[in-house]
Amino acid sequence: MAVRSEPAAIRAATGTGNGLRHHQLGMALLAAALVFAPLVLYPVFLMKVLCFALFACAFNLLVGYVGLLSFGHAAFFGTAAYAAGHAAKVWGLPPELAVLFATACSAVLGLAFGWLAIRRQGIYFAMITLALAQMLYFFYLQAPFTGGEDGIQAIPRGRLFGLIDLANDLVMYWVVLAVFFAGFLLIYRTIHSPFGQVLKAIRENEPRAVSLGYDTDRYKLVAFTLSAALSGLAGGTKAIVFRLASLTDVHWTMSGEVVLMALVGGLGTVFGPIVGAAVVVSLQNYLAGLGHWVTIVQGLIFVACVLAFRRGIVGELARLVGKPL
């Protein structure tokens, strides 16, 4: 990367402690937009965007702030979808416990996958995560509880805390919005915590971080587990919202999609993955009539991103205003 010639870009990507006021402004705008969005857009569409936005933010925590490109994040998203579906449908757990259980499953899986994958770096790390996720995919394809090609269908949304009936899409939307913001704020806090500061140091120069006495493998493992858990939170919520957990959720194309979302929005930016998820989900929805051509359009966007605006939408915006976004 040609960093020296573009000081604004560097500042844009730097999460300095004194420049957080515009983040708060951004969050307030985002919250306001999402509160009023159901007036103009379908809640189901919005919920899809929010689930994927949370997924992309969780993924970005790893790639954007630790520099670890995982190509197997579908494993955590999909595992959580199955876990939430199974817990809600077969065990009859209320939605909050089903999602909590799903998140825990993904966290444990993340710990295991992370423990294996962080031993390697760069492309090898990506390949190991992909391989592990593919193994899991074939396991889910065969395992009886996943319903194979059919997936788990008609998952009950149930009653939140046994009180609030989630059958209504708008009611469900408020819950998803709350879940999204909880996850997003946790990620935001993580990025700006003392722990996050060490993560950024590892991203910038791992040997130097080691030479300063940081056991970088443990930091990477905690970050990986956290990212997996939050991806699980997104996947579990998605299963409850759409009442469906299927092989699509664990397929490698799902891992690819989350990469695309983070890339389109802007890797290593706070708001980028949300914008990226909105763009990708919108395209899928509005271009659904094109059938398989959607993939081609997505591919073209990917190429355009890499060629024309490598920092992603929010990354380029941050460069223009000269502030990290």
Partner 1 sequence: MAVDDAILETEGLSKEFRGFLAVKNVHLRIRRGTIHALIGPNGAGKTTCFNLLTKFLQPTAGRIRFEGRDITALRPAQVAKLGIVRSFQISAVFGHLTALENVRVALQRERGESFDFWRSHSVLRAYDGRARELLAAVGIEAMAEVPAAELAYGQKRALELATTIALEPALMLLDEPTAGMGREDVGRIAALIKQVAKGRTVLMVEHNLAVVADLSDTITVLARGEVLAEGDYAQISADPRVREAYLGSEEG
Pick 15 or 265: Cβ nearer partner 1 = 15
Pick 120 or 189: Cβ nearer partner 1 = 189
121 binds partner 1 (CB under 8 A): no
Least distance in angstroms from the C-beta of 117 to partner 1: 18
**Residues of span 138-177 touching partner 1 by CB under 8 A:** none
Integer Cα distance of 196 and 36 in angstroms: 32
Total of residues contacting partner 1 (CB under 8 A) = 40
**In 143-271, which ranges are continuous DSSP H helix?**
169-191, 194-204, 206-211, 216-242, 252-265
**Residues of span 19-38 touching partner 1 by CB under 8 A:** 20
Least distance in angstroms from the C-beta of 216 to partner 1: 7
253 binds partner 1 (CB under 8 A): no
282 binds partner 1 (CB under 8 A): no
Stretch that binds partner 1, among 107-115, 169-177, 183-191, 259-267 (CB under 8 A): 183-191
Backbone angles phi and psi of 49, in degrees to 5? -60, -45
196 binds partner 1 (CB under 8 A): yes
**Residues of span 208-237 touching partner 1 by CB under 8 A:** 208-216, 218-219, 222, 226
Applying CB under 8 A, which of residues 190, 231, 246, 298 lies at the interface with partner 1?
190
Q: Are residues 227 and 59 in contact, defined by beta-carbon separation less than 8 angstroms?
A: yes
Pick 93 or 267: Cβ nearer partner 1 = 267
CA angle 43, 254, 105 (to 5 degrees): 85
Q: Are residues 184 and 23 in contact, defined by beta-carbon separation less than 8 angstroms?
A: no
Helix (H) or strand (E) holding 165: strand 164-165
Q: Of 77, 98, 111, give the one whose Cα is nearest residue 261.
A: 77
Integer Cα distance of 256 and 71 in angstroms: 7
Stretch that binds partner 1, among 47-55, 167-175, 190-198, 238-246 (CB under 8 A): 190-198
Least distance in angstroms from the C-beta of 132 to partner 1: 23
Least distance in angstroms from the C-beta of 324 to partner 1: 10
Applying CB under 8 A, which of residues 23, 73, 86, 200 lies at the interface with partner 1?
200
67 binds partner 1 (CB under 8 A): no
Per-residue CA distances from 134 to 137, 146, 251, 265 (Å): 5, 15, 8, 26
The total number of residues written for the chain in this structure: 325
Integer Cα distance of 203 and 205 in angstroms: 6
Stretch that binds partner 1, among 135-143, 149-157, 202-210, 240-248 (CB under 8 A): 202-210
Q: Are residues 244 and 155 in contact, defined by beta-carbon separation less than 8 angstroms?
A: yes
Integer Cα distance of 74 and 253 in angstroms: 8
Residues contributing to the site for partner 1 (CB under 8 A):
3-4, 7, 10-11, 13-14, 16-18, 20, 186, 189-190, 192-198, 200-201, 203-205, 207-216, 218-219, 222, 226
